[in-house]
Structure 1
Amino acid sequence: MRKEISTEEPPDSRRRMRQKSRSVGPVHDLEEHVKPDWWRGIFNHLYLKTDGDVVGDRRITEREIDRITEILALSPESDILDLCCGQGRHTLELVRRGYAAEGLDRSHYLIQKARATAKREGLKVRFKEGDARELPYKPDTFETALILGNSFGYFDSVEEDVRVLREVRRVLKPWGRILLDVTDGEYVKENFQPRSWEWIDEQMFVCRERSLSVDEERLVSREVITHVEKGVVADQFYAERLYTRDALQELLDLAGFSDIAFHDIRTESVRNQDLGMMERRHIVTAVIRKDWTRVKAKQARSVRNVTVILGDTSQPDRIKPSCVFDEDDFYTIDRMKTALAGLKDYRFTFVQKHDALIRDLAKAKGTADYAFNLCDEGLGNDPRKELHVPALLDILGIPYTGAGAQSLAFCYDKSLVRGVARETGIPVPDASFIAPGDRVYNIGVPFPVIVKPNAGDSSFGITQKSIAHSVEELSTVIATMRSTLGYGTSFLVEEFLTGKDISVGIIGNPSGTYTVLPIIEEDYSALPPGLPRICGYEAKWLPESPYWNITSKPAELDPDTEKTVVRCCLTLFERLECRDYCRFDWRLDAAGKPKLLEVNPNPGWCWDGHLARMAGLAGISYAGMLGRILRAAEERLGLDADPRTPPAEHEAGTVPPTETA
């Protein structure tokens, strides 16, 4: 639960070098450079420029909707799903015409653009982030599903495309229809341009290379986007499957569709230069003949018995200033219990005596559906033993919320997280690891720097005195921290970043249903001049400190930075095996480039913590936030509750919590 600190701008030579490293230069095999999940990072503001001659022209969108409504003979009462909707151009046009449509896309950036457009125009329409392979809808929800703009065939295998079609089949009503607008694979395979370039506006041009994959089933493309003043701004690779008519027919048959028909559609473009996969397309329609999904007899879910595991309030806690739970801690626990009591259909039992934890959990195994693990203090209030609680639950065979022992072990080691981030291409501050026995600090990191324990939580040990501006100051800071934290402590010496201090919260699981909460940044305006802009131990634990006045506010980020940060967070969420909820701390450098500071699985759950603040900005109450974490775990665990509907709230006390001594 920590923030981090500031750094002066890198030397000009280093900054120029970083700008030049955007391109990989000449490559002999385009396919080698295509990542399996290339679609995660490519749909941003540059996509809206490179494809703007089609996707940005409202007149083209209007004519495409004319053709689609003609083919389907849509009625205003039809419930329409625009799948892989991007920035929502088709969804919005349908809603403008009075149709009941909603959109879903994996791109956080494009969904935010769609929502902003709908808000600006006063349109009532829902846009969701989600994976087309696992749709967050109940069976038999829509009459019509659209996959437009050649948004089909991005995945690494045909099997994943079949998963998409079967999910569409599931959410369509009996006799529902699917419409795909896809490239004519046969034509493109024979007529694609191996190399081309075009101006996309007055300051940017794009150079493209293309080749067929080894199996000749996909068109592999490379785009090098160049700004006349800034140089190369993107060098990106992607691959799209080339389906022939016969292959599409077989695919739809396999997914359970019938009455398959092909229709023509005209491709238009203002620039009319390199249309790539959009050069020639066709529309494919099909019908699903199925029975209504049988409704489970158990409509009203029974009360869920949940065991809540907390820190031990009767034992010392060295992280806290007084080393014991104080009135604020007990108030925080009471707020949490009140919020949980406001969730319908749950009965909570609280376990917090760690000396009897094994006995109490063994008793709970026969009665609890799962455990709500809120013990971020660690077993015996030892933060190094936070992973012991999920490990014990695994041994006892009790399902639980949040990260497992391995994930907590990964993320407790800041240097290890840095290594994983760098391995996946995620930017981190320059840093040097200081082992317990090190006495000479040849760190290779430009001053000023911040010193922090390599393993730790709750910003323990990170204060305004953790900043060093020279080797002499660095020696003093480390010596002081060793005398306080112990001589066996290892440290991380990081460049001191001076840009915005931001946090990203995610509730859910990227492999299923998830929500990226509004990003927040620390507001240092109330901090006296001269103090380093950090959110450390003093800001979280010492009311008498000037750092106590630090607040959070909605982050103001440019769209590209927000897109990059969210994409990196989702990548790390899965790579570090986080589950159900997580918080990521970032800091921008002086040039505005984001760098990852920390990954917090099972982040602070308190009513006034960062996660709750982000949830509040999304219009989610504190009780609603806790309920969403529970539902995320239930979806992941395969319990029978519907994960797409947050738990209802009611008057506190309807299902009273109980407590285990």
Structure 2
Amino acid sequence: MTTHTHRQKDLIADIYHRIASEYDDRIPGFTALDATFSDTEISFVLDRVGPEDQVLDLGCGTGRITLPVARRAGSVTGFDLTGSMLEQAARKAGEENLQVRFEQGDMADLPFPDDSFDVVVSVLALMHVPPADHPAVFAEIRRVLRPGGRLLLGVKNAVFERFSSADRFATVDITDVENKELVFTGTQGGAEFRAPWHSFSPDDLKRLTAVAGLVPVTIRGNIPISAWLADSVLDNGDLAGAVRTLEALLGDLPPLNHLGYHLLVEAVKPAVPS
């Protein structure tokens, strides 16, 4: 690991330590579009998780995805760089009497044996991983997946950013596209924090999965129509409903899926030949 990469990880861990207690009040935002965005993410994951699956949630944070998965899967492990975020997740899991294992560490060096999980989930977290570590993270995901296992990934879409710097999800954590940073504004202590932030195009994801030996089977654009419409248009309930229906029908189909604000990806580890 280079000194620069190590410093980036330390910075990210420190920022999330500072905002852990308020994180759940910052995400997912306050508008109907925020709710649709978050619901689409969670549905994408839950539709691909079964009651017998052993699931690893990488970059689980305070459990926004981990807890819904724990209500459905056979077992869940939440993994994150920041201990304070894991403490929040563990507290919430305890309140619901959910059996979730939590571990702290680095996604580029997972402390799990080969072929440990049926599903690996990572929503939003990969965007904080330094680019130099991307190949290692995807290689580690493949290693810990069982043959036939699935990677379920959510990331910001670099194609969208080529056309627009608009933020379409949440209001206090702002994506600074030009400087490739996530800016945490309006924190309880009044400070502003900036964390490195890396988006991915569909081609980036195809390359990273292919090099790691994973096969992408679905690339879905999250809010691929809504993201391009003015808020005033989406305030019309009937029109917004029609847009949501169309997005649900066409979100998997190119080129529309490549234009979403975020990308949701399913990739599979090939089964061992018989």
Q: 1:258 to 1:124 in 2, by over 3 A?
A: same
**What's the offset of the Cα at 1:260?**
3.9
Which amino acid in the other structure matches residue 177 of structure 1? R
Q: 1:173 to 1:236 in 2, by over 3 A?
A: same
In structure 1, how many angstroms separate the alpha carbons of the residues matched to 2:175 and 2:86?
Answer: 29
**What's the offset of the Cα at 1:84?**
0.8
Q: Give yes or no for the alignment of 1:105 onto 2:80.
A: yes
SS in 1 for 2:196: strand
**What's the offset of the Cα at 1:67?**
2.8
In structure 1, how many angstroms separate the alpha carbons of the residues matched to 2:187 and 2:272?
Answer: 53
Please give the per-residue CA displacement for 1:534-592, whole angstroms capped at 9, x wherever unaligned.
Answer: xxxxxxxxxxxxxxxxxxxxxxxxxxxxxxxxxxxxxxxxxxxxxxxxxxxxxxxxxxx
Q: 1:112 to 1:211 in 2, by over 3 A?
A: same
Q: 1:184 aligns with which of 150, 157, 160?
A: 157
Which amino acid in the other structure matches residue 126 of structure 1? R
Q: 1:90 to 1:210 in 2, by over 3 A?
A: closer
In structure 2, how many angstroms separate the alpha carbons of the residues matched to 1:178 and 1:286?
Answer: 5
Retained in 1: the 8 A contact 2:28–2:38? no
Q: Give yes or no for the alignment of 1:284 onto 2:265.
A: yes
Q: Give yes or no for the alignment of 1:210 onto 2:183.
A: no
Q: 1:63 to 1:210 in 2, by over 3 A?
A: closer
SS in 2 for 1:147: strand
Matched with 2:199 is 242
**What's the offset of the Cα at 1:100?**
2.3
Higher helix share: 2
SS in 2 for 1:53: coil
Please give the per-residue CA displacement for 1:579-613, whole angstroms capped at 9, x wherever unaligned.
Answer: xxxxxxxxxxxxxxxxxxxxxxxxxxxxxxxxxxx
Q: 1:36 to 1:226 in 2, by over 3 A?
A: closer
Matched with 2:235 is none
In structure 1, how many angstroms separate the alpha carbons of the residues matched to 2:66 and 2:156?
Answer: 20
Q: Which residues in structure 2 correspond to 1:79-228 (within 5 Å)?
A: 79-148=54-123, 150-157=124-131, 159-193=132-166, 206=172, 210-213=176-179, 219-225=180-186
Aligned residue pairs total 226
Retained in 1: the 8 A contact 2:50–2:72? no
**Which has the higher Rg, Structure 1 or Structure 2?**
1
Retained in 2: the 8 A contact 1:179–1:285? yes
Please give the per-residue CA displacement for 1:26-48, whole angstroms capped at 9, x wherever unaligned.
Answer: xxxxxxxxx62231122223433
In structure 2, how many angstroms separate the alpha carbons of the residues matched to 1:58 and 1:105?
Answer: 24
Retained in 2: the 8 A contact 1:62–1:93? no
In structure 2, how many angstroms separate the alpha carbons of the residues matched to 1:82 and 1:283?
Answer: 15
Q: 1:238 to 1:190 in 2, by over 3 A?
A: farther
In structure 2, how many angstroms separate the alpha carbons of the residues matched to 1:127 and 1:59?
Answer: 28
Please give the per-residue CA displacement for 1:596-646, whole angstroms capped at 9, x wherever unaligned.
Answer: xxxxxxxxxxxxxxxxxxxxxxxxxxxxxxxxxxxxxxxxxxxxxxxxxxx
**What's the offset of the Cα at 1:264?**
3.3
Matched with 1:53 is 29
In structure 1, how many angstroms separate the alpha carbons of the residues matched to 2:118 and 2:145?
Answer: 6
Q: 1:61 to 1:51 in 2, by over 3 A?
A: closer
**What's the offset of the Cα at 1:181?**
0.9
**What's the offset of the Cα at 1:88?**
1.1
Matched with 1:265 is 222
List structure 1 runs of 4+ shifted beyond 6 angstroms: 57-60
Q: Give the TM-score of the pair, scaled to structure 1.
A: 0.31
In structure 1, how many angstroms separate the alpha carbons of the residues matched to 2:206 and 2:175?
Answer: 30
In structure 2, how many angstroms separate the alpha carbons of the residues matched to 1:193 and 1:58?
Answer: 17
Q: 1:173 to 1:211 in 2, by over 3 A?
A: closer
Retained in 1: the 8 A contact 2:173–2:182? no
**What's the offset of the Cα at 1:291?**
4.2
Retained in 1: the 8 A contact 2:62–2:85? yes
* Root mean square deviation of aligned Cα: 3.2
In structure 2, how many angstroms separate the alpha carbons of the residues matched to 1:52 and 1:46?
Answer: 12
In structure 1, how many angstroms separate the alpha carbons of the residues matched to 2:147 and 2:212?
Answer: 14
Matched with 1:441 is none
Q: 1:226 to 1:170 in 2, by over 3 A?
A: closer
Q: 1:234 to 1:49 in 2, by over 3 A?
A: farther
SS in 2 for 1:286: strand
**What's the offset of the Cα at 1:183?**
1.2
SS in 1 for 2:46: helix
**What's the offset of the Cα at 1:290?**
5.7
Which amino acid in the other structure matches residue 261 of structure 2? R
Q: 1:116 to 1:156 in 2, by over 3 A?
A: same
Q: Which residues in structure 2 correspond to 1:5-44 (within 5 Å)?
A: 36-37=8-9, 38-43=11-16, 44=20
Q: 1:220 to 1:77 in 2, by over 3 A?
A: same
Q: 1:191 to 1:255 in 2, by over 3 A?
A: same
Please give the per-residue CA displacement for 1:183-223, whole angstroms capped at 9, x wherever unaligned.
Answer: 111102321149xx96xxxxxxx59582424xxxxx22434
**What's the offset of the Cα at 1:253?**
0.8
Q: 1:224 to 1:193 in 2, by over 3 A?
A: same
Q: 1:103 to 1:59 in 2, by over 3 A?
A: farther
Q: 1:53 to 1:208 in 2, by over 3 A?
A: closer
In structure 2, how many angstroms separate the alpha carbons of the residues matched to 1:46 and 1:92?
Answer: 18
Which amino acid in the other structure matches residue 210 of structure 1? D
**What's the offset of the Cα at 1:77?**
0.7
**What's the offset of the Cα at 1:179?**
1.2
SS in 1 for 2:200: coil
In structure 2, how many angstroms separate the alpha carbons of the residues matched to 1:75 and 1:173?
Answer: 15
Q: Percentage identity across aligned positions?
A: 25
In structure 1, how many angstroms separate the alpha carbons of the residues matched to 2:15 and 2:265?
Answer: 26
Q: Which residues in structure 2 correspond to 1:512-527 (within 5 Å)?
A: none
**What's the offset of the Cα at 1:104?**
0.7
Retained in 1: the 8 A contact 2:50–2:73? no
Q: 1:286 to 1:211 in 2, by over 3 A?
A: closer
Instruction: Give ranges in structure 2 of 5+ residues lacking alignment.
Output: 1-6, 232-259
Q: 1:246 to 1:207 in 2, by over 3 A?
A: closer
In structure 1, how many angstroms separate the alpha carbons of the residues matched to 2:42 and 2:186?
Answer: 30
Q: 1:125 to 1:249 in 2, by over 3 A?
A: same
Which amino acid in the other structure matches residue 289 of structure 1? P
Q: Which residues in structure 2 correspond to 1:387-402 (within 5 Å)?
A: none
Task: Report 1 or 2 for greater relative contact order, CA contacts < 8 Å, sequence distance ≥ 6.
Answer: 2
In structure 1, how many angstroms separate the alpha carbons of the residues matched to 2:150 and 2:43?
Answer: 17
Please give the per-residue CA displacement for 1:311-357, whole angstroms capped at 9, x wherever unaligned.
Answer: xxxxxxxxxxxxxxxxxxxxxxxxxxxxxxxxxxxxxxxxxxxxxxx
In structure 1, how many angstroms separate the alpha carbons of the residues matched to 2:116 and 2:45?
Answer: 20
